[in-house]
Structure 1
Amino acid sequence: MLRAATGLLASALLALAAPVGAEAAPLRTVYTISLIGLPVGRAEFRTTIDARRFKVEGTLSSAGLAELVSSTRGTSSVSGRIAGRRLLADRYALAYTSDGKSWSSDLSLRSGSVVSSKVAPPARNPAPADFVPVRRAQLTSVVDPLSGLMIAPEKPADLCRRTLNVYDGWSRIDLPLSPAGTERVRTDGFDGEAVVCTTTVRPVGGYRTSSNGLRFLRGKVIRLWFAPIGDTGVYAPVRVRIPTEVGPLSLAASTFAKP
């Protein structure tokens, strides 16, 4: 569950937003990933978007001291259409390797519902006795880990008043956002008040009840800082803080949505 929840959450929180209705031009966001203050990874995302379609492509790699323990490389992408204030994914894909082992996920979606899902390696059959499966009814009104946090609220105060139902092909988790004020954030591409949300991981399906990772994450508070993209009304994470068993995992944008 630690991979399914922490990995899924980290992927979701690295999402990048871009101006709805703008000309299709790539925007770049770079995140530094730190564990207990030490650099352990880097993620970069490029987004293109126009009035009707969007596409996000990203890479993630371990760095610094993490390379001495475990080497990780991955890519992720999502594409879809824009309907009002909603970004509706059509296709989501993730592929990564860690210490010679590989995982991949390929989802097709339509209007927030999963049409097809393929993961590798395939799920164990038979499943462990304590495994909680994802039911078909739980694959409607979901978001993928990349575009799920590209949010365009009616007003900033509404940004944290929602629950995100995230599915990555393996696990379905709910992230109920709650408002936690604002905080000044400065980075290359943004300097201003960020909207702060808190959340907790609520597992729905695709996990084992005996998982130590699940037991650790249950009830732990995660903090997200959302920054507006110009005057478009679209917000995206500019900073994230996630508890882990060895200390806080932090994601901070060194470059935020710049051409």
Structure 2
Amino acid sequence: MPPSLVRCLAVTAVLIGATAPALAGSGAVAIRYAMTLAGLPIGAAALDASVAGNGAYRIKVSARVGGILSLVSDGKGAATASGRMGTAKPMPTGYALNNISGNKQQTVQMVIADGAITDVAINPDLRYRSDRVPVTEADKRGVIDPVSAMLMPVAGGGETMAPAACDRTLAVFDGAQRFDIKLAYSRMDQVASKGYSGQAVVCSARYTPISGHRPDREQTKFMAANRDMEVWLAPVAGTRVLAPARIVVGTQIGRLVIAATRFAQGGGIADPTEANAN
């Protein structure tokens, strides 16, 4: 898979996580997505999340990239996270990623306590690069993993579909890199998918690398300067949460669009190969 697209997909995964459903009380929800690049189908993704009555949560995100990209490379991956919902944000305790691209596999496991990373295992280890910005211990505090970022409670008792829903900056650590994703209100729009058709609040997004990155790499510079990133948020029935109905990320080889084809209450849809099923 082209390196620039890998970075864009990584940021996109966090955009999905930045606004995906947190369940009020207890329950489960699943969303299927179709993915296109420059208008061509490249794969699918799925999200399955559940929250128990005591606040304990578990999330699985999975994706498969192929389509026209299979001429260059193919890839699939799945990530899980667990923890307990706090009053304002999730408090993750564990995160795991298994990613396969071509004939290469990478796994990441993290243990988290009170917002601090206490243990990280990456296999294979990252290659040493003299230009890589070191990750400090301070960079591993006050953070959230990319998958737990998808549990976002909407505080208060007012309208959930409001500009304030976009007022978020996510401090993310993925096991190798520390970065921020800042959301800001852009406009209101309309979306349509099986399970939800109606109004959405649209947030612009900006990526800011903090550490673990290589600042002189072309794709790092591109993503840090990228202003073509947006996420459409739609309500999840029966909860005070918003979920991503559509995501756009500009890349160096065309626009990446991830669009929800189905919202489902009750969970159980985590197979990305079924993302376009009726």
Please report the TM-score for the alignment, with normalisation by the length of structure 2: 0.85
- The aligned counterpart of 2:174 is 168
- The aligned counterpart of 2:69 is 66
Deviation at 1:7, TM superposition (A): 3.5
Matched residue pairs, number?
A: 255
C-alpha contact 2:201 2:233 (8 A) present in aligned 1: yes
- The aligned counterpart of 2:246 is 239
- Looking at structure 1, the residues matched to 256 and 188 of structure 2 have their Cα atoms a distance apart, in angstroms, of 21
Matches within 5 A, 1:125-140: 127-140=128-141
Q: Deviations along 1:56-109, whole A, 9 cap, x unmatched?
A: 113211232222321112111111111224222111111111110111111111
Structure 2's unaligned 5+ residue stretches are 267-278
- Looking at structure 1, the residues matched to 198 and 5 of structure 2 have their Cα atoms a distance apart, in angstroms, of 34
C-alpha contact 2:22 2:152 (8 A) present in aligned 1: no
- Looking at structure 2, the residues matched to 35 and 176 of structure 1 have their Cα atoms a distance apart, in angstroms, of 23
Deviation at 1:13, TM superposition (A): 2.7
Give the SS at the match of 2:166: coil
- The aligned counterpart of 2:271 is none
Matches within 5 A, 1:1-259: 2=4, 5-15=7-17, 16-23=20-27, 26-51=28-53, 52-124=55-127, 127-154=128-155, 155=160, 156-221=162-227, 222-259=229-266
Q: Deviations along 1:180-205, whole A, 9 cap, x unmatched?
A: 12111111122221111111111001
Deviation at 1:258, TM superposition (A): 3.1
Kindly indicate whether structure 1 or structure 2 has the higher relative contact order, using CA contacts under 8 Å at least 6 residues apart: 2
- Looking at structure 2, the residues matched to 96 and 46 of structure 1 have their Cα atoms a distance apart, in angstroms, of 18
C-alpha contact 2:42 2:65 (8 A) present in aligned 1: yes
Q: Deviations along 1:201-221, whole A, 9 cap, x unmatched?
A: 110011112211012212212
Which AA in structure 1 matches 2:104? Answer: K
Give the SS at the match of 1:133: coil
- When residues 48 and 106 of structure 1 are mapped into structure 2, their CA distance, relative to the original with a 3 A threshold, is same
- Looking at structure 2, the residues matched to 209 and 56 of structure 1 have their Cα atoms a distance apart, in angstroms, of 32
Which AA in structure 1 matches 2:25? Answer: G
C-alpha contact 1:8 1:168 (8 A) present in aligned 2: no
Which AA in structure 2 matches 1:161? Answer: D
Which AA in structure 2 matches 1:131? Answer: R
Q: Deviations along 1:120-146, whole A, 9 cap, x unmatched?
A: 21123xx32211011110111212112
Give the SS at the match of 2:142: coil
Structure 1's unaligned 5+ residue stretches are none
C-alpha contact 1:4 1:207 (8 A) present in aligned 2: no
C-alpha contact 1:14 1:31 (8 A) present in aligned 2: no
Give the SS at the match of 2:33: strand
- Looking at structure 1, the residues matched to 105 and 126 of structure 2 have their Cα atoms a distance apart, in angstroms, of 14
Q: Deviations along 1:202-243, whole A, 9 cap, x unmatched?
A: 100111122110122122121011112114111222211011
Deviation at 1:18, TM superposition (A): 4.4
C-alpha contact 2:56 2:84 (8 A) present in aligned 1: yes
* Segment of structure 1 superposing worse, 198-207 or 222-231: 222-231
Identical-residue share of aligned pairs (%): 28
C-alpha contact 1:19 1:230 (8 A) present in aligned 2: no
Which AA in structure 1 matches 2:119? Answer: S
Which AA in structure 2 matches 1:111? Answer: D
